[in-house]
Structure 1
Amino acid sequence: MSTVVMHNVVSVDGFIADVADEVGPLFEWYGNGDVPLVEGGAMKVSRASAAYVKPIWAGIGAMVIGRHLFDITNGWEGRPPAGEHVVVVSHRPRPEGWHPEASYHFVDDVARAVAKARELAGERTVAVAAGDVGGQALTLGLVDEVAMDVVPVVFGSGKRYFGSVDAQHLLEDPHVVIQGDRVLHLAYRVRR
């Protein structure tokens, strides 16, 4: 059975974007190294980050994202950054004529979205985007692990990593602590 990992790049004060949905310096570490993340790609990171990120990305079978992320990225033009499938949590259907060949599924419920992603991912990892959808999945007990790429910047306000979670959730001690260049990779299992 697949593992469900809630993930995102995050500021040290817990934000995945500012109030205008801008990520500012959060993604700068994707270009400050000398190791390409994908063959021929523009994203180059430190050796430590590449050793961590490459196998993580290769292990993703499906992603779960919210409609807002889908809209602001235009669904990455039908080519997700990792995995073969994307499940979009939305009360609106797939846009008419939008990349009919892309394996994108629109589901109006977080629990059903995670179930669909698990089905599509098989034994591979399901990556749930942090933010409102990720926070809902965590609250529903559907997240096995929380992974953060913490960047040394303080936003002060913006889009919260855990969305609007208003209850306490215990995590285990981090089982991944890797220092990259201008990023700290952390991963925690969710305590059951």
Structure 2
Amino acid sequence: MGTVILHSVMSVDGFIADDKDGVGPLHDWYFSGDTPILDEASRFRVSAASAAYVRPMWASIGTIVIGRHLFDLTNGWEGKPPAGDHVVVVSHRPKPEGWHPEASYHFAGDVATAIAKARELAGERTVAVNAGDVGGQALAAGLVDEVAIDVVPVVFGSGKRFFGAVDSQHLLDDPHVVIQGDRVLHLAYRVRR
């Protein structure tokens, strides 16, 4: 089985979006460099240091796990996952009727079921769990192997927390990834068991 990584871009004060789901400058670093992440035609252009980190991370992803709120906000990226081949949505509501029937999107009623399905779909590849409430629930349930944070130098003051409403302590190892990009710091920590 592949690694389960809780991952997102975050403000230095711990938020993945503001109170109205706006991301402000959190994703600006994806478009501020001269090195394409995917190919020369890619609109994602970052620093060389960020590209060296992001390329293999994105390539390793087999399945993404998100909450229904993000699915609704993005309309599920119109059935095309931003990375990987599959998306599992944690939701008590089913996939919208007639919504992109060709897309490999699966709906699960709880986080444990979603992670199990995502691992099955990903095989040996990585399962990327989006930060926020779903990511926090997965961490609290002991289902996360690693936490990866792209820290952007902005302070939101309030908003949607990286770990959602986690109300218990979880220990992480020292970071095994520390990469300074342009307007972003990439960090990755293994979760202590």
TM-score, scaled relative to structure 2:
0.99
SS at match of 1:64: strand
Whether 1:6 and 2:9 are equivalent positions in the alignment is: no
Give a deviation string over 1:143-190, Cα, whole Å, max 9, x none.
Answer: 000000000000000000000000000000000000000000000000
The percentage of aligned residue pairs carrying the same residue is 78
Whether 1:55 and 2:69 are equivalent positions in the alignment is: no
Aligned to 1:81: 82
Any gaps of 5 or more consecutive residues in structure 1? none
Aligned to 1:31: 31
1:1-192 correspondence to structure 2 within 5 Å: 1-39=1-39, 40-192=41-193
One-letter amino acid of the counterpart of residue 19, structure 1:
D
Q: Tell me, in whole angstroms, the C-alpha distance in 2 between the residues paired with 1:83 and 1:106.
A: 16
Q: Tell me, in whole angstroms, the C-alpha distance in 1 between the residues paired with 2:50 and 2:62.
A: 21
Give a deviation string over 1:20-46, Cα, whole Å, max 9, x none.
Answer: 000000000000101111221111000
SS at match of 1:29: helix
Q: Tell me, in whole angstroms, the C-alpha distance in 2 between the residues paired with 1:35 and 1:67.
A: 33
SS at match of 1:69: helix
One-letter amino acid of the counterpart of residue 16, structure 1:
I
The alignment's C-alpha RMSD in Å is 0.4
Q: Tell me, in whole angstroms, the C-alpha distance in 2 between the residues paired with 1:58 and 1:78.
A: 18
Q: Once the 2 structures are TM-superposed, how far is the Cα of residue 12 of structure 1 from its aligned partner?
A: 0.3
Give a deviation string over 1:51-101, Cα, whole Å, max 9, x none.
Answer: 000000000000100000000000000001100000000001001111000
One-letter amino acid of the counterpart of residue 148, structure 1:
I
Q: Tell me, in whole angstroms, the C-alpha distance in 2 between the residues paired with 1:36 and 1:80.
A: 19
Any gaps of 5 or more consecutive residues in structure 2? none
Q: Tell me, in whole angstroms, the C-alpha distance in 2 between the residues paired with 1:116 and 1:176.
A: 28
Q: Tell me, in whole angstroms, the C-alpha distance in 2 between the residues paired with 1:58 and 1:128.
A: 15
TM-score, scaled relative to structure 1:
0.99
Q: Once the 2 structures are TM-superposed, how far is the Cα of residue 115 of structure 1 from its aligned partner?
A: 0.3
SS at match of 2:173: strand
Q: Tell me, in whole angstroms, the C-alpha distance in 1 between the residues paired with 2:92 and 2:35.
A: 40
Q: Tell me, in whole angstroms, the C-alpha distance in 1 between the residues paired with 2:173 and 2:100.
A: 40
